Amino acid sequence: MITKYDSNAKFGQKQEEDSSFIESLNCISKLINVLGEFPSNSTTASCFNRASTILHLAMSLLDSEFRLILETCNQGNNADLKSPKPLKQSSFSSRQESTYCVIPESKSSEDVEFPAYTSEEISKMNRIATAMISSGYESRCCMVYNMVRRNAFSSELDKLGFENISIDDVQRMQWQSLEGELLCGSL
């Protein structure tokens, strides 16, 4: 089944096969946990190693698929994003407006949208993440998600003209210039 997904099949194309694949991963994960409780001998060690290898291969496939969905959806739908609304004017005096950033009012929870991802893609990512987490690969799942989102966030900041400054750069900056960097310019 793993070789099928590795060769040409994509996760999410056939719901029944995906469910069977995830059920198989759950069984293998449980088998690994049970084999780990037995005293080590050549038979259990061989079974344990083989099951661990199979699970690792499956997780590598899910890892790649998860990354692909995150990256593809993020790149393909940038044109569909709504342009940001202009910031509302603050009720502060003009002296204060030139010193501080204006924070837009937050939307209600009913207005929240995820324009870069369809409900089908979100469902696929949910199934993949759930399978990875339940198989003991939570840190890997989080690492992939964080890496892809960090890259997307940095890319969007670059498009908006913001400089990406590392924490080391911030620590080396003079405090007077740092204060100027942190405060927004006049509107």
31-49 pLDDT per residue, tens = 999 988 888 888 888 999 9
Q: Is the model more confident about 102 or about 136?
A: 136
Region 19-41: mean pLDDT is 89
pLDDT at 108: 56
More confident call, 113 vs 25: 25
Closest CA to 144 of 129, 123, 165: 129
Is residue 21 in some structural domain? yes
Report if residue 47 sits inside a domain: yes
Is residue 96 over pLDDT 70?
A: no
The conformational region for residue 88 under phi > 0 = left, psi -120 to 50 = alpha, else beta, is: beta
Between 73 and 135, whose confidence is greater? Answer: 135
Q: What is the pLDDT of residue 79?
A: 46
Once rounded to an integer, what is the mean pLDDT over residues 98-114? 54
Is residue 173 pLDDT above 80, yes or no? no
Task: Record the tokens describing residue 179, joined without a space.
Answer: 């204060």
* Percentage of the chain lying above the pLDDT 90 cut: 32
Task: Tell me if 137 is assigned to some domain.
Answer: yes
Is 155 a member of any domain? Answer: yes
Rounded to two decimals, the pTM is 0.65
Residue 112 has pLDDT above 80, yes or no: no
Q: Determine the Cα–Cα distance for residues 94 and 91; give it in Å rounded to an integer.
A: 9
Residue 172: inside a domain: yes
Q: What angle do CA 66, 131, 31 make, to 5 degrees?
A: 135
Structural element, H or E, at residue 71: helix 42-76
Q: Residues with Cβ < 8 Å from 88, sequence gap 6 or more?
A: 102, 104, 105
Rounded Cα distance between 63 and 53, Å, is 15
Q: What is the mean pLDDT of residues 146-166?
A: 88
**d(C-alpha 150, C-alpha 181), whole Å:** 22
Point out the least confidently predicted range of 39-48, 96-105, 126-135.
Answer: 96-105
Q: How many domains does the chain contain in total?
A: 1
CB 73 within 8 Å of CB 116: yes
Q: How far apart are CA 165 and CA 178, in angstroms?
A: 11
**Any domain includes 178:** yes
pLDDT of residue 49: 92
Structural domain of 40: 2-77+115-182
Average pLDDT over every residue of 153-172: 84
Name the DSSP class of 13. Answer: S
Q: Band of the pLDDT at 89, cuts 50, 70, 90?
A: very low
Give domain status of residue 14, yes or no: yes
Q: Rounded to 10 degrees, what is the CA torsion of 11, 16, 21, 27?
A: 150
- Asked if residue 59 belongs to a domain, the reply is yes
Q: Which pLDDT score is estimated for 105?
A: 62
